Structure 1
């Protein structure tokens, strides 16, 4: 595990300043790899890394070369099937000098060309230079577990594990991408290839960028996508599917436990993390809670830990949340508006005191239909049967007029959120319950000048992904959309950023490529059964974990942000969202922000999502743009 960065001069000539430039890029990633650094420049290609030593502690220094040093690479991540690949490549005559997983990349490329990425099972962001063929490759893992940013320009290419590495150079303009900002406010993350910088892009999950250095062009290609269902899949019974899923989860978990350093797991006491911890055996597990009982699941985590017999550590956290905000925003150069960055960072910090690697249960909700939004889509069909006059003149005004309850969820809060989501376009399907800024609110929120720069409606990327999902069932289409957007651009970004902030490697066994492909073969009615979300995975988990821990209301990993915006975070909100700064910025309309703040502070409405996204953006804008 490490952070990588570098640049390619298409003219192929080294400059005297290149070494210093590469050094500065790599230094910004120190938190990703405090153990050592590696730098090299050959024929106009500069590549460097910061290493967090996990496998082959003494021999895995990067860059790593092939036998004649014509092919070299830097790499962020882990290749879990590297022992099998190494054995196969040795049979072809390749000579290995290390025991690291990185070396299979250069020999794999020698043997199979750019198709080597299709053989990798792991999480990775790869940069590779073939000096003889004069080509350069960037590749990102199948699900987007590891980040990879790049900027393709007329005479050079820059790349890095984080945007801040690119910003150290004089070659990237810090121009705001207004279209991306509008999407960030709507969804709390920036979807697809875009970032908030016009000149910087993300390589999409499962993509490879192959550049001929004699005639450079930027045309990333997909090397993997989630396959369509096999016609044989429905012939298996639910019990048979349970057996297959359990066996694959166990195999994926055991494969991802390869490590030469201490290893543990996050444990919330929910379905996914409990299942992973149970499949690991005797390990250390970690969880945190807050002193607000509706944001505290420690009791459940302890029950699971006691049942499976692991060494468990937990803490009730009441941090200096404002100081923590300033610390975490340093890692938000590609910002997300997800509140759960705080507990994710804090549990990572707790785990890092004891281990260097932690396994996480992320991915189960997107593969096996664990979110309430999938149920909401089913209920919306029933709701639409009610006469429109009754919905519009009676039900919706009454529910909209109710004040949010102070609880995390609760019946009133659920009803209000359901009505809000149901009002959005049906083309968004389940995703409309994740949209926080409608096109109408966008028009009132953005200034006329800013609005002119926004061409696409908020729903644009979701509708594109539904088309890309192809001929699948309706639920599988929704799961496909979430894997390709919410999971990769929000959840995995959050986990990567917050764990690497404390130099902790996080692995996600449920996103093993083989398990993902299997999950999309499972019949839809085994995933969402009546009002039971994640039905088949709960049955699998309940074989290993107490049923009362599995069959309980889903809480989610969050913080009481709606309360904190009126207490601890109020000075921060007023600092960033005041009339003077809003008017000076010229991006937003103050009357709309003033109304949102007033309605939230009075308890009339819960605007925590949009207010928090605005705070995060303004802090990002001051720091980076």
Structure 2
């Protein structure tokens, strides 16, 4: 796991080595073990290394092939690199190191852009070809590893993070109003946008070729949900369960290869608990190191479940309690994300990865299970509400308006849930699903925006980004269509950047067995009624993990990596929210009407409505502006 940077000029000027050195310094947290720069003519590549496989100097990057014609900077892990290496050696390729990076370099030499089809793992990399004067960039299938770029008339620059690009005086840092518009709903800036107009993200499962200033971008992988596996008989279903266990076992096994200490994040949920169980079985007598975070607020605390798994498998377990004053780290998170980012789960994740890094350099986690196997409550709700969009909106809207505002700020209150449901009943499934996980909906934005900002984003339709995903999938049922959309929106743009940025801020590599693309391809072809059955979410995953987990683990309510923002914004963080969101600087940015901002804050504090996520969204936007745009 590392940080990469590069710049290729088209204007005849030489690339600046000092600029690349400064970029490597800005990325040093991603790779504190080593750094290097390659420069020739108008091309410069930079790399900050976190050594995981082959800790020797032979793993130094930028790395070249035998004749110096190809140069690579690589971030990630390729889990089938030894298998690929054997095939390349049989064709005459010779290797100087034991690294997966060198395998990728030789695979590109053999297959060109087609090399990405053979890679199993997480990656973002760049290869410079001295002979063709071409730059090849690629990103893994689901977006585990980030890759930003800026294409100008004079050059193309790329980086693992926004900051090195935003610090380049040749790259304008004008804020993209459309990106902010989308962020307010998605809680992150969706690809291919970034918060800066001149900087973009290479989408997951895409590669880019750059020659003579011309850029070609192509998609190389798409998750398919058809044809479905036969599942009519009990024997066929039992066979699918057994095959799934083996797929996950294999995904865990290949992620245990490391030349440095390795552990796991254990939330106490089904997914991370199942991963830890399979890690422990694969590790034999060696105890797995596990790490958990909890809260003083008991309804958010999962430590008891994590301890049960730890005791069952005798892991070497460490715990950490998150308190409201831990939000003092928010400016640090803003610095690392480089864009507005409003998933509050980044807070506990930052702290637990910091604790874990004191003991290990690599950690496995359970991310991805909800998106492949339908684990969110909204997946179940969407199935229950099938056909509801045919109800007249005037009827459902009137019922919602009749329901009184809940007298509590808890999103778990039945009244809050009922009112929210009736507000979304008449919406198309794609938009309803977005409302369930989004922060600001269309109507709230219309009330919130100033006239000037509304005019600037009038042609930008946030909902269309989700509708596009619904249209492009080959899924033939509602549940799989929603899962496909979630994988390409929430997972790619919020969950995975959250994991990457918080862990790499602490120089910790995170590996996700449930995001193995071979396992995801298998899961996609499972029948929908094996994912949600009799309103039980993640039915098949719970069934197969139930073979390894303590009794009672599967029936427990889903909690996620929740943070008690609702209480904090009515208590310890109330004044901070008012001071930042209603500050003169924030109002002068011209996005929002002051009266509407005050209404949101007041209604939350008074317990009239639960605005916790919207307040956090606004807070993080203001903190981002103060770090990256205020002069």
TM-score category, normalised to shorter length: over 0.9
- Provide TM-score, normalisation by structure 2: 0.95
Say which SS state the counterpart of residue 499 (structure 2) adopts. helix
Say which SS state the counterpart of residue 124 (structure 1) adopts. strand
424-433 or 261-270, which moves further after superposition?
Answer: 424-433
Say which SS state the counterpart of residue 577 (structure 2) adopts. helix
Q: In 2, are the aligned partners of 1:56 and 1:99 still within 8 Å (CA)?
A: yes
- Give the whole-Å Cα distance in 2 for the aligned partners of 1:92 and 1:519: 34
- Give the whole-Å Cα distance in 1 for the aligned partners of 2:427 and 2:517: 33
Aligned residue in 1 for 2:224: 227
Distance 1:135 1:390, change over 3 A: closer
Q: In 1, are the aligned partners of 2:409 and 2:610 still within 8 Å (CA)?
A: no
498-507 or 5-14, which moves further after superposition?
Answer: 5-14
- Give the whole-Å Cα distance in 2 for the aligned partners of 1:109 and 1:11: 27
488-497 or 308-317, which moves further after superposition?
Answer: 308-317
- Consecutive unaligned residues in structure 2, runs of 5 or more: 281-286
Aligned residue in 2 for 1:544: 548
User: Deviation per CA, 1:90-125, whole angstroms, max 9, x where unpaired?
Assistant: 111111001111101111011111111111111000
Q: In 1, are the aligned partners of 2:470 and 2:482 still within 8 Å (CA)?
A: yes
Q: Tell me, yes or no, if structure 1 residue 183 matches structure 2 residue 188.
A: no
Aligned residue in 2 for 1:54: 52
- Give the whole-Å Cα distance in 2 for the aligned partners of 1:442 and 1:107: 50
- Give the whole-Å Cα distance in 1 for the aligned partners of 2:361 and 2:209: 33
- Give the whole-Å Cα distance in 2 for the aligned partners of 1:510 and 1:14: 44
User: Deviation per CA, 1:419-449, whole angstroms, max 9, x where unpaired?
Assistant: 3443644442533312332222212211111
User: Deviation per CA, 1:364-393, whole angstroms, max 9, x where unpaired?
Assistant: 000000011111112224767988777444
Deviation at 1:405, TM superposition (A): 5.1
The equivalences for 1:183-202 within 5 A come to 183-202=182-201
Distance 1:243 1:10, change over 3 A: same
Aligned residue in 2 for 1:554: 558
The equivalences for 1:360-375 within 5 A come to 360-375=365-380
Q: Tell me, yes or no, if structure 1 residue 44 matches structure 2 residue 42.
A: yes
Aligned residue in 2 for 1:138: 137
Distance 1:423 1:345, change over 3 A: farther
Q: Tell me, yes or no, if structure 1 residue 433 matches structure 2 residue 436.
A: yes
Say which SS state the counterpart of residue 237 (structure 1) adopts. helix
Deviation at 1:474, TM superposition (A): 1.6
Deviation at 1:309, TM superposition (A): 2.5
- Give the whole-Å Cα distance in 1 for the aligned partners of 2:244 and 2:315: 23
- Give the whole-Å Cα distance in 1 for the aligned partners of 2:509 and 2:356: 10
Aligned residue in 2 for 1:91: 90
> Of the candidates 337, 340, 346, which is equivalent to residue 332 of structure 1?
337
Aligned residue in 2 for 1:509: 513
- Give the whole-Å Cα distance in 2 for the aligned partners of 1:450 and 1:323: 30
Deviation at 1:585, TM superposition (A): 1.4
Say which SS state the counterpart of residue 220 (structure 1) adopts. strand
Aligned residue in 2 for 1:607: 611
Aligned residue in 2 for 1:124: 123
Aligned residue in 2 for 1:265: 264
Say which SS state the counterpart of residue 313 (structure 1) adopts. strand
Say which SS state the counterpart of residue 219 (structure 1) adopts. strand
> Of the candidates 488, 492, 509, which is equivalent to residue 492 of structure 2?
488
- Give the whole-Å Cα distance in 1 for the aligned partners of 2:397 and 2:327: 41
Aligned residue in 2 for 1:30: 28
User: Deviation per CA, 1:28-71, whole angstroms, max 9, x where unpaired?
Assistant: 11111111111111231111111111110012111111110100
The equivalences for 1:311-390 within 5 A come to 311-318=316-323, 320-381=325-386
Q: In 2, are the aligned partners of 1:338 and 1:490 still within 8 Å (CA)?
A: yes
607-616 or 580-589, which moves further after superposition?
Answer: 580-589
- Provide TM-score, normalisation by structure 1: 0.95
- Give the whole-Å Cα distance in 2 for the aligned partners of 1:21 and 1:306: 51
- Give the whole-Å Cα distance in 1 for the aligned partners of 2:182 and 2:572: 28
- Give the whole-Å Cα distance in 2 for the aligned partners of 1:342 and 1:423: 35
The equivalences for 1:562-577 within 5 A come to 562-577=566-581
Aligned residue in 1 for 2:8: 8
Q: Tell me, yes or no, if structure 1 residue 167 matches structure 2 residue 147.
A: no
Distance 1:381 1:155, change over 3 A: same
Say which SS state the counterpart of residue 5 (structure 1) adopts. strand
Deviation at 1:325, TM superposition (A): 1.5
User: Deviation per CA, 1:507-527, whole angstroms, max 9, x where unpaired?
Assistant: 111111100111111011100
Q: In 1, are the aligned partners of 2:226 and 2:474 still within 8 Å (CA)?
A: no
Deviation at 1:398, TM superposition (A): 4.8
- Give the whole-Å Cα distance in 1 for the aligned partners of 2:323 and 2:430: 41
- Give the whole-Å Cα distance in 1 for the aligned partners of 2:119 and 2:383: 38
Distance 1:256 1:390, change over 3 A: same
The equivalences for 1:448-527 within 5 A come to 448-454=451-457, 455-527=459-531
Aligned residue in 2 for 1:210: 209
- Give the whole-Å Cα distance in 1 for the aligned partners of 2:559 and 2:606: 26
Distance 1:431 1:444, change over 3 A: closer
Distance 1:166 1:400, change over 3 A: farther
395-404 or 346-355, which moves further after superposition?
Answer: 395-404
Q: In 2, are the aligned partners of 1:321 and 1:568 still within 8 Å (CA)?
A: no
Distance 1:399 1:301, change over 3 A: farther
- Give the whole-Å Cα distance in 2 for the aligned partners of 1:335 and 1:423: 31
- Give the whole-Å Cα distance in 2 for the aligned partners of 1:470 and 1:300: 38
Deviation at 1:340, TM superposition (A): 0.5
Aligned residue in 1 for 2:62: 63
Say which SS state the counterpart of residue 164 (structure 2) adopts. helix
- Give the whole-Å Cα distance in 2 for the aligned partners of 1:326 and 1:123: 28
Distance 1:447 1:425, change over 3 A: farther
Q: In 1, are the aligned partners of 2:374 and 2:532 still within 8 Å (CA)?
A: yes
Say which SS state the counterpart of residue 377 (structure 1) adopts. helix
Q: Tell me, yes or no, if structure 1 residue 415 matches structure 2 residue 418.
A: yes
Distance 1:385 1:573, change over 3 A: same
Q: Report the count of equivalent residues.
A: 619
The equivalences for 1:582-593 within 5 A come to 582-593=586-597
Q: In 2, are the aligned partners of 1:265 and 1:359 still within 8 Å (CA)?
A: yes
- Give the whole-Å Cα distance in 1 for the aligned partners of 2:306 and 2:47: 37
User: Deviation per CA, 1:151-205, whole angstroms, max 9, x where unpaired?
Assistant: 1111100100000011121111111111111110012112220011111111010
User: Deviation per CA, 1:468-498, whole angstroms, max 9, x where unpaired?
Assistant: 1134322111110011110010000101011
